[in-house]
Amino acid sequence: MLSLRFDNRFVRELPGDPQEGSQRRQVHGALYSRVRPTPVAEPRVVAYSREMADLLGISEAEIRSPAFAQVFGGNALIEGMEPFAANYGGHQFGVWAGQLGDGRAITLGEVERAGRRWELQLKGAGPTPYSRSADGRAVLRSSIREFLCSEAMHHLGVPTTRALCLVTTGELVVRDMFYDGNPRPEPGAILCRVAPSFIRFGNFELPASRGDVALLETLIDFTIRRDFPELAGGGTPQQVRAEWFAQVCERTARTVADWMRVGFVHGVMNTDNMSILGLTIDYGPYGWIDDFDLEWTPNTTDAHGRRYRFGHQPRIAYWNLAQLAAALAPAFTEVESLHAGLERYMSTFLEADRANTAAKLGLLEWREEDAHLVQELHALLQAAEVDMTLFFRNLADIDLAAPALAPLEDAFYDPERRRASQDALLGWLRRYAERVQGEGLAPEARRARMQAANPRYVLRNYLAQQAIDRAEQGDFGAIDELLDVLRHPYDEQPGRERFAQRRPDWARHAPGCSMLSCSS
Ligand code: AMP
Ligand code: MG
């Protein structure tokens, strides 16, 4: 069963903790601890991604074999697996939090296939030295959310970690979902997530915070060697490090620009949740924008300060990169290269965001004066309570010769607010139509450009919650059904219109559909 070829460079090339097992501890001078998953009562595969399985060369028959559930439920290892938990720190909500580490994630190994490297990691597989006071487990609802969203992001073309499979454990996990002193048992699950690398900003911050420059440099050189091999030979070691940091900045910028394009709000952009590859990572209390609102945060823990609100994400990414730069500084002889990297973030983000916005609006190219048009639009969408996804998708249907609100009617949540903004919206549509006509792009080309930038289907919060509700009743079909819709987010899918509808009224304040807690 399962002929995976492992090449575990992280544990082979980097210093590890001499102590094994899950006893909680501060780990110094090491970048990981070896620890095995804790077996569960009754592992059962309830969902998987066939695209990810294909990339790993895993067949459907293998996935259906009992042995597969044993391995991905954490009950058995196969030859070549060398499980470990990574040691990292992080800034949480702007404050240095010290050592965090993989408290409930255990990497099984690094698979090589077709010239690509894939780290397989179980999330919810039991305690590690980094679990602090928690249990190392995950509940089904949050595992479904990560499974679906990471695959959906991939199909949207947004850099992300992936998901191979979702396994229920047959065990209960106790969580206080609303943080209101009413913990209750919930079904547990384990997600196998996959990425070329799970290294985070926090992996560098921790040795730097302890003044362990040698360990910091070891990790930097390893990351460049393994995860950025294209940089090899690009000048002196210092020049290579400089370009590496700039690349991290560039990738982060493009990913965040994509979040803004599709209406994704991460919700917990702590530096331990920032991938060195610029992947979207650690899907927790994330959310999707229904009614356009730059102030919205899905995370109840963030409701007060709104640090991680939709419109603030580009600035937070920059702040996080600045923390990374500060951590890397002892390994750089010239601070200027770190400043240059941060500038690369700014220029890349601006460029990507403008290109995305132009594409969303069906403009051939961005002009300085478009900034005003976009600002006006954002204010109007917010004031009139307009669904972001529906608005941009249906904007392609506006008759440029006679702009009217008719193609956009489905996008309004509140008739009162629609009425109050109607004249202003029409005025905006007329100016927009003029601007578009000025470019002379053929209507079909314009529509194609817009449809490639504006998804029809996103993982609306209430859709994920409906799949969770059914799964908790033992019906996992809704997960497959939803995943199948999300495979082709930019296509019209006749018969599946209900998955494209705006959030229904009942879901406006319903648990899991509007705000989410970190409890997972
Ligand atoms: P997060 O907010 O999910 O990024 O988690 C922050 C830190 O808490 C990380 O070090 C996690 O590994 C740890 N953590 C979160 N949930 C658990 C859990 N149920 N058991 C152990 N550690 C956890
Ligand atoms: Mg995390």
pLDDT tens per residue across span 116-171: 999 999 999 999 999 999 999 999 999 999 999 999 999 999 999 999 999 999 99
**In a mutational test of the pocket of ligand 1, which residue from 131, 139, 186, 300 has the highest number of ligand atoms less than 8 Å from its CB?**
131
pLDDT tens for residues 238-274? Answer: 999 999 999 999 999 999 999 999 999 999 999 999 9
> Minimum-distance ligand to the CA of 174?
1
Q: 166 - beta bridge partners? A: 47, 191
Asked whether the predicted pLDDT for residue 514 surpasses 90, the reply is no
**In a mutational test of the pocket of ligand 1, which residue from 87, 100, 271 has the highest number of ligand atoms less than 8 Å from its CB?**
100
Can you give the pLDDT at residue 518? 86
Can you give the pLDDT at residue 252? 99
For ligand 2, the distance from its centroid to the CA atom of residue 239, given in whole angstroms, is 31
Distance CA 360, CA 335 (A): 38
Whose CA is closest to atom 14 on ligand 1? 103
Asked whether the predicted pLDDT for residue 76 surpasses 80, the reply is yes
- Phi then psi for residue 392, to 5 deg, are -70, -40
* Annotated catalytic residue 290: no
Query: With bands split at pLDDT 50, 70 and 90, how would you rate the model's confidence at 296?
Result: very high
- If DSSP codes are grouped into helix, strand and coil, which group holds residue 123? strand
Can you give the pLDDT at residue 515? 85
Mean pLDDT of 192-220: 98
Does the Cβ of 101 fall within 6 Å of ligand 1? yes
For ligand 2, the distance from its centroid to the CA atom of residue 277, given in whole angstroms, is 15
Model pTM above 0.75: yes
Asked whether the predicted pLDDT for residue 36 surpasses 90, the reply is yes
Can you give the pLDDT at residue 497? 97
Closest CA to 274 of 90, 142, 138, 149: 90
- Catalytic one of 272, 290, 353, 387: 272
What value does the CA radius of gyration of the chain take, rounded to a whole number of Å?
A: 23
Does the Cβ of 200 fall within 6 Å of ligand 1? no
Does the Cβ of 204 fall within 6 Å of ligand 1? no
Asked whether the predicted pLDDT for residue 94 surpasses 80, the reply is yes
Does the Cβ of 130 fall within 6 Å of ligand 1? yes
Closest CA to 383 of 260, 514, 293: 293
pLDDT tens for residues 454-466? Answer: 999 999 999 999 9
Distances (CA, A) of 459 to 76, 156, 257: 33, 11, 18
Mean pLDDT of 374-399: 98
Can you list the alpha helix ranges (DSSP code H) found in 313-414? 313-328, 335-361, 370-383, 388-395
Distance CA 269, CA 266 (A): 6
Does the Cβ of 97 fall within 6 Å of ligand 1? no
- If DSSP codes are grouped into helix, strand and coil, which group holds residue 62? helix
Does the Cβ of 100 fall within 6 Å of ligand 1? yes
Mean pLDDT across the chain, nearest whole number? 97
Asked whether the predicted pLDDT for residue 340 surpasses 80, the reply is yes
- If DSSP codes are grouped into helix, strand and coil, which group holds residue 184? strand
- If DSSP codes are grouped into helix, strand and coil, which group holds residue 369? coil
Query: With bands split at pLDDT 50, 70 and 90, how would you rate the model's confidence at 366?
Result: very high
Tokens linked to 353:
């965001």
Distances (CA, A) of 451 to 128, 241, 292, 359: 45, 39, 19, 9
Can you give the pLDDT at residue 398? 96
For ligand 2, the distance from its centroid to the CA atom of residue 61, given in whole angstroms, is 33
Query: With bands split at pLDDT 50, 70 and 90, how would you rate the model's confidence at 177?
Result: confident
Asked whether the predicted pLDDT for residue 2 surpasses 90, the reply is no
For ligand 2, the distance from its centroid to the CA atom of residue 362, given in whole angstroms, is 37
Domain ranges within the chain, ordered by starting residue: 1-365, 366-438
For ligand 1, the distance from its centroid to the CA atom of residue 246, given in whole angstroms, is 29
Closest CA to 170 of 76, 22, 37, 45: 45
Closest CA to 147 of 180, 183, 123: 123
Can you give the pLDDT at residue 111? 98
- Phi then psi for residue 492, to 5 deg, are -70, 135
Asked whether the predicted pLDDT for residue 179 surpasses 90, the reply is no
Sign of CA dihedral 323, 325, 331, 336: negative
Does the Cβ of 284 fall within 6 Å of ligand 1? yes
Whose CA is closest to atom 4 on ligand 1? 273
Closest CA to 128 of 202, 39, 200, 35: 35
